[in-house]
Amino acid sequence: MWNSKFAQVSPTAKRLTLGNGAIPAKAASDPALQKLKGHWLRPDGDYVLAIKNVDAHGVIDGAYYNPRSIHIEKAAASHDADTIEVFFELRDLNYPGSSYTLAYDPASDQLKGIYYQAIEKRRFPVTFVRLK
């Protein structure tokens, strides 16, 4: 089963509501996490993650579309020596706590992981490819 560091998202990440223009206080960015910046498409639909920035605390400034904007309740990124991970929790109509737990794969330049569909209480493997 998918093992993630994001079972408890930090208070810093919880305070950010993505897609609303609010940006937390500037902090020096972590160069490893800047690899996440960009637009990411889930090829099985019109699902797009737009990651504008990731600060030094792992707080993500971005948005999620399907194809309309979906509110992101929590978003965070972290890394260790081997893995960069991303977590997004959605809170919107038809998205009552659905979430993505993803890992960055540098070899393929993709985000791969699990989508938890809260209404059905099911998990699905997903991949996001970077839009050029």
Please choose, from the candidates 57, 5, 3, the residue with its C-alpha nearest in 3D space to the C-alpha of residue 30: 57
State the DSSP code for 24: P
State the DSSP code for 13: H
CATH class of domain segment(s) 11-130: mainly beta
pLDDT of 103 > 50? The answer is yes
Domain boundaries, the chain: 11-130
C-alpha distance from residue 7 to each of 17, 73, 89, 94, 100 (Å):
18, 14, 11, 22, 12
Q: What is the mean pLDDT of residues 1-28?
A: 44
- Tell me the whole-structure pTM to 2 decimals: 0.79
The Cα–Cα gap between 124 and 47 comes to 14
> Per residue in 48-102, pLDDT tens?
999 999 998 999 999 999 999 999 999 999 999 889 999 999 999 999 999 999 9
